[in-house]
Structure 1
């Protein structure tokens, strides 16, 4: 017995489809074989009538005989072995019969009026009224030259034919039973070939649901089942990787928060104890202020990421001149670049580089990109900020000659919480936030890099077009995306 489930449904549906198909074939076959046997009998009688009826009428004449003698002559010429021949008048009364039995009632079967109406031959299949035996009656009209109409009615038993048809039916049903048994075995095997992998996948999924992400779906499954198993294994790998990234992020952000908090706490206690001159107090307050700003930056980065994830980031859209924005960014990071003796160079091909966007968020995007370029550049190197117009777009490229990124890490560098160098500090959210902000501006961010050679980050933004088609000045990021 197959237990309840998809296996039973597969077997049941497969069995029903084959069963209905076989029943349809069986019905068509039985009707065809029955028609074949019955038509054979009918054609034999019809051919006999066609061959003898005309010669019987020509060779006999009612004027030479009494009616009884005439009918006997017709009976002798038309009779057929294994069939009763009846000569009837136009009302269906039996005038004479080859069996010798007299009938006191007229024949009322459908072949009589059909033969009279058509003037030809008609057929009727049914049971003999007196004996209940299954018979076939073939009736044809016989019309003399004087106008007298007689009917020649051949009645033959079809009981043996029906017995033969019953035997054929039983044999065909036995064959169908064997076929259905084979179908049942095959369908059970087919169901098991589908259900067994599904049960395996369910078992692995149940273990993953309990937190065991080291288990995998094993087995070389084909088609959709193979894709399902591969997808589940890939999901487990991604969960493991995400958990590792999350753990690394927690460790990193804990360190990032602890360092400024330790400095703030230490200098606060030191200043609280008193006894320091104004210069030392100024230095301590400066450190506290600097570390506080660093903490605020970390918190703001986390808040921005949270807003982006929940589609709650609001953009104040308007015309932004990228060339002026990049000049401002260069001034903001100039001091940091000077510490590493890194030169910043702005190159622009064209006159107007206006885009439609949020000036503050675009400044955040390019400030993050340029800050990363400085952080990972070699001392005394050059960072080039390049602006160019391209068919309705403004492309901004930031090219450094720093440590670069290998191909494996380049594919993941824009993932949230991912850091190429976990010792370098930060949350690993900078590029993830940058990527999403660029997408909110309907732009594109691309990165190319070669380890030990440098990195180029390219941002494409739609060119600003004046006119009534300018979009609303304030747009919710989650609403238009």
Structure 2
């Protein structure tokens, strides 16, 4: 059942109005053309008669001095063959506007008042046919009057009249036919507009239902493509589908992130709780005490790092992170990070080295603590995914515009299809590995705040190279 409300009503209404205006305009112009065509044919016939009468009876050559007005009129009437077969009705009028001979050849003394007669008797040059109605019969006619001259003096006029009754009837029939055709066109247009409205509304209805499912958390729903065409609505539908897929991925990532964070929190807390209880035993040895305190310290630092990452993520998500801009010695910062993480790399027998391409590295403007955080995140990430006996190289270079820090390892590498996702929040290629999945995402945002960018290249089973480029000149301080 059709409901003529909302968008459907607007589409049909506007479409129908356009069709009505188009049909009306077309029929009006067509009727105007038809009427002019028929009327113009009569008008041309009357003009030809005027020219003939003037050339034969009103030229100086034909104006014989002894010819009277009655003789000239008789001559004209004889040549016009007055009767039922004549297409003109002829009236002879004297200079006092009295009708001498009517269309049937009968002499009468009725007076006539007509614009064309007045022009003829006044000797006007623009003898143009005019349309009028006969008062007695209400008949629609077209007529023109021609002056009759005797010795170049107007003694009267001869009036040619053509009835427009049959022409008007023909035009009326054509008009009725056009009205009927217009009604048929409007009916067809209404049917087409209904169909046209359905082709627009039905996909929108499906999109609405699809959006409702999304609003209720059903992100795995598939959109029916039976009524979706390859146009703007189709593009909108594809956008909806893509959005649902991305939301679904995001939800899964969040679920995996929560699961990972829960594990990351539970593991150190369990260790801390277990060893704190163990240290309470009276018979514990000194070696066990040192071991327990060391584990508690390591797990506490792990928790602190995890909490800091979550806080940084929260600040970045709400644009509340604050950079403390100062002069930074990148060379000294890189050496410090290497010394700090040397112990962890040695535990896995990983060679951790730093190399400076430029002999002199100029100081740059930036947040020293945040840049150290970025480099630590990158190196720790490499240590986590590099097997025993591997290597990690930090390469520092500088040109006029950028200071570049490159961290290269021969670790596990990243699958090609995951390269663009690694810098996304919550993403981890291997959720069995420890970590929150926020380190690289946070580092990337910090680098962006410094007006730089992070470039990642990797090949599965070969290794990873992460390049950080930071502008040498600080443009503006970014604060929350």
TM-score above 0.5: yes
Moved more, 356-365 or 135-144: 135-144
Residue 406 of structure 1: aligned partner: 415
Residue 475 of structure 1: aligned partner: 478
Q: How many residues align?
A: 471
Q: 5 Å matches for 1:100-179?
A: 100=106, 102=108, 104-109=110-115, 112-113=118-119, 116=122, 118-148=124-154, 150-179=156-185
Assess, with a 3 A threshold, how the Cα gap between structure 1 residues 290 and 345 changes in structure 2: closer, same or farther.
closer
CA distance, structure 2, for counterparts of residue 390 and residue 2 of structure 1: 70
Residue 297 of structure 2: aligned partner: 289
Question: Structure 2 residue aligned with 1:308, among 312, 316, 325?
Answer: 316
Residue 321 of structure 1: aligned partner: 329
3-state SS of 2:295 partner = helix
Assess, with a 3 A threshold, how the Cα gap between structure 1 residues 102 and 270 changes in structure 2: closer, same or farther.
farther
Question: Structure 2 residue aligned with 1:208, among 214, 223, 226?
Answer: 214
CA distance, structure 1, for counterparts of residue 322 and residue 123 of structure 2: 93
Shift of 1:283: 4.5
Q: Which runs of 5+ in 2 are unaligned?
A: none
Alignment of 1:428 with 2:437, yes or no, is: yes
CA distance, structure 1, for counterparts of residue 283 and residue 146 of structure 2: 142
CA distance, structure 1, for counterparts of residue 460 and residue 94 of structure 2: 114
Shift of 1:105: 4.4
Contact 1:403 1:451 in 2 (8 A): yes
Moved more, 377-386 or 353-362: 353-362
Contact 2:145 2:158 in 1 (8 A): yes
Contact 1:79 1:85 in 2 (8 A): no
Deviations 1:297-353 (A, max 9, x none): 111111111111111111122443322221121111111111112112222222335
Shift of 1:104: 4.6
Deviations 1:233-261 (A, max 9, x none): 22222222222211111111111111222
Contact 1:56 1:77 in 2 (8 A): no
Residue 262 of structure 2: aligned partner: 254
Q: 5 Å matches for 1:79-98?
A: 81-88=86-93, 94=99, 96-98=101-103
Assess, with a 3 A threshold, how the Cα gap between structure 1 residues 31 and 403 changes in structure 2: closer, same or farther.
same
Deviations 1:180-237 (A, max 9, x none): 3233333323332333332223223222322222320122532223323322222222
CA distance, structure 2, for counterparts of residue 248 and residue 359 of structure 1: 32
Moved more, 395-404 or 182-191: 182-191
Shift of 1:355: 3.7
Residue 2 of structure 2: aligned partner: 2
Contact 1:121 1:141 in 2 (8 A): no
CA distance, structure 2, for counterparts of residue 326 and residue 149 of structure 1: 124
Shift of 1:361: 1.3
CA distance, structure 1, for counterparts of residue 155 and residue 469 of structure 2: 104
Contact 2:413 2:464 in 1 (8 A): yes
Alignment of 1:52 with 2:53, yes or no, is: yes
Assess, with a 3 A threshold, how the Cα gap between structure 1 residues 301 and 89 changes in structure 2: closer, same or farther.
farther
Residue 334 of structure 1: aligned partner: 342
Alignment of 1:380 with 2:385, yes or no, is: no
Moved more, 286-295 or 57-66: 57-66
Q: 5 Å matches for 1:189-228?
A: 189-219=195-225, 221=228, 222-228=230-236
3-state SS of 1:126 partner = strand
3-state SS of 1:455 partner = strand
Q: Which runs of 5+ in 1 are unaligned?
A: 465-469
Contact 2:54 2:146 in 1 (8 A): no
CA distance, structure 2, for counterparts of residue 379 and residue 270 of structure 1: 32
Residue 66 of structure 2: aligned partner: 64
Alignment of 1:371 with 2:360, yes or no, is: no
Q: 5 Å matches for 1:337-352?
A: 337-350=345-358, 351-352=360-361
Contact 2:95 2:121 in 1 (8 A): no
Residue 467 of structure 1: aligned partner: none
Task: Please give the root-mean-square deviation of Cα atoms over the aligned residues, in Å.
Answer: 2.8
